[in-house]
Amino acid sequence: QLQLVESGGGLVQPGGSLRLSCAASGLALDYTAIGWFRQAPGKEREGVSCISWYDGKLYYADSVKGRFTISRDKAKDTVVLQIDSLKPEDAAIYYCAARYPVLTLETTCGIADLYGYWGQGTQVTVSS
């Protein structure tokens, strides 16, 4: 069983930065895509960014492009989401998720229903 644990959330002012981490254990990540999703109160779960482990292909939602950066650390089996220039509308619970089997991203991360493994989430709050 693949297990995912998010960390790095917290309270930050608008314009600030956060570094979210997703640590994986239990299974090899060679043929996965790792995605970050977020869900704010009253809104549907939204795919934010994702990366394919095998070839490092990236995807960003239009709402975060230019402000969020996703990367993988193969030595630590960890995916990092660097968030800069935070806006109030970025506030949400951020979830890490994994999808098997994936060699490369075709167009987007894929919908949330395709991801079979989920972390418990980390809260991002943006407030003055």
The fraction of the chain above a pLDDT of 90, given in percent, is 89
3-state helix, strand, coil in the chain (%, to 5): 5, 45, 50
Segment 2-43, tens digit of pLDDT: 999 999 999 999 999 999 999 999 999 999 999 999 999 999
Q: Which residue has the tokens 């079979």?
A: 116
Mean pLDDT along residues 61-89: 97
Output the furthest CA–CA distance in the chain (Å, rounded).
42
